[in-house]
Structure 1
Amino acid sequence: MQSTAPSAGDAAVTTTIDDNVAIVTLNRPDVRNAIDDATRTTLIDTIEGLGADEDIRAVILTGAGTAFCAGGDIRGMRQRLDAPIGRVGYNGWKRQKSTHRAINALHNLDKPTIAAVNGAASGLGCDLAFACDFVMASNAASFTMAYLKRGLIPDGGGLYFLPRRVGLARAKELIYSARKVGANEALAIGLADRLAESEDLLGEAKAWAAELSVGSPIALSLAKSILNRSLDLPVEQVFALGGEAQSICYTTDEHRDSIQQFLDKGSKAKKGEQS
């Protein structure tokens, strides 16, 4: 089944549902899908809405046109600097809160998430990709942590996600140099998890999403909530969280049905041997 969420053709973010997989597309190709305030707000509403929809089993994030996401909208940065000096810092703080809400919504979404990076990902575009569980890059993809070129630090999660993907030293090198990383190098160093030909990117991402969402959605949600914190917690706390999560799993219909199916299959096999 395929359906498209009702929205105008020029909506900054569009959503298509295909067999319980949501494809969220950043849809500002004329500005390489740069994120302005309105796009950020729409993206938050979209991701949070998908999180509340139990029929959605996985989410793919991609970009329209030839770019994945060019990062923050430079025109928005100009407007920020044109504000009265006494408001610049406060306005920036409010925008930071909105950015972090978008990144957290994506990172903590209790479903598998895949960034299907179809072209250039720069600055905040990289952060959006790395906030997903997995990154699938087309052969046209590139990644640039461009913040320092704008006199800024990575503010969309890169300081957290990048070292976890490539290690601390490599993360420093990519942030300090702001150099472009092509698709093959991205796969080699861990920025990307899989590569696909450009024309096959969405199809392969959807197939991967289907593979990732075959199990219990409750168990997956609980496991992801722990995995997202596991590198920052002592083993005793991971065990404690795991014990609490497993107690919930014991009560689910998925667990009960799975055990019953296994026992029924064994019983039928045994009867076959006796006949």
Structure 2
Amino acid sequence: MLSVTEQQNSAPLVLVDRPSEHVAVVTLNRPERMNSMAFDVMVPLKSALDELSYDNSVRAIVLTGAGRGFSSGADHKSAGSVPHVDGLTRPTYALRSMEVLDDVILALRKLHQPVIAAVNGAAIGGGLCLALACDIRIASVEAYFRAAGINNGLTASELGLSYLLPRAIGTSRAFELMLTGRDVDAEEAERIGLVSRAVAPAELLAVCVQMGVRIASFSRPGIELTKRTLWSGLDAGSMEAHMQAEGLGQLYIRLLTDNFDEAVAARAQQRPPVFTDDKNPRPGN
């Protein structure tokens, strides 16, 4: 288990583990605060994600929380220190603080690798945003979700929530959850598409790692371009423009790799395909 950062005389607040050759597990490690989004946690999380994005041995990432919470959102008791804010006035300090959190959400989307959220417990407010910024969400049956801003006398729109949630579950359900601030348990989350599935707590991490292993078995450009086109499709101004992007991605891989021919041959020979990243792969790729 490798620490990304460490508080003096305390455990690391973000952990990175490698349970499989091509899969990394990132764990928010502040269980006594239900992994709330204190800056002391979010800054090293961003650093960890940046490092993993350019670690070419990693092809899938799992994000989870230690203890009984995935992330409880804003920490109202111990928010931690915001970097690079010396000399700023209060309004600008607030803007920089929000920017730090925004950067974490955007980093999850921009990672080269797909990210699987292993939602082990409460995903509240900003914690819900963290989960939604991941590409896939698997929940423990003990998990629950809440768009908490409205409960705190604020807007429920934060950290991309009003953008991501309607795209995940539809507009009517998103309006309801954000305006009522009610909890959504794992069973309902699976039914409405907020998560792909709900599993027993003891199985959660293994299920997510195994999913990462399966994803990692496919070609790297195929994985990366699929993630890119899925996200760009959510932003697309028109279906026609998005279809062109999809087509270019397919042509790119078809022309620059032998993966399609390998897949056809493997099916004919009733064996698993062995994908490479280009037509003349370098040793180890």
| Alignment check: 8 A CA contact 1:137 1:194 kept | yes
More helix by share: 1
**1:71-220 residue pairs with structure 2 within 5 A?**
71-76=73-78, 87-153=89-155, 154-220=157-223
Offset of 1:186 from its aligned partner? Answer: 1.0
Aligned match of 1:67: 69
Give the distance between the partners of 2:37 and 2:265, measured in 1 at CA.
52
- Determine what percentage of the aligned residue pairs are the same residue: 31
Pair 1:264–1:159, CA change in 2 (3 A): closer
When Rg is computed on C-alpha atoms for both structures, the one with the higher figure is 1
SS in 1 for 2:116: strand
Give the distance between the partners of 1:261 and 1:171, measured in 2 at CA.
40
Pair 1:14–1:79, CA change in 2 (3 A): closer
Residue type of the partner of 1:190? G
Give the distance between the partners of 1:265 and 1:208, measured in 2 at CA.
21
SS in 1 for 2:113: coil
State TM-score, norm by structure 1: 0.86
Pair 1:76–1:251, CA change in 2 (3 A): farther
Offset of 1:40 from its aligned partner? Answer: 1.1
Aligned match of 1:270: none
Aligned match of 2:2: 5
Aligned match of 1:16: 17
Give the distance between the partners of 2:179 and 2:221, measured in 1 at CA.
40
| Alignment check: 8 A CA contact 1:24 1:62 kept | yes
Give the distance between the partners of 1:264 and 1:168, measured in 2 at CA.
42
Offset of 1:177 from its aligned partner? Answer: 0.8
Offset of 1:77 from its aligned partner? Answer: 5.9
Aligned match of 2:254: 250
State TM-score, norm by structure 2: 0.83
Q: Structure 1: state its 5+ residue gaps.
A: 81-85, 268-275
| Alignment check: 8 A CA contact 1:121 1:142 kept | yes
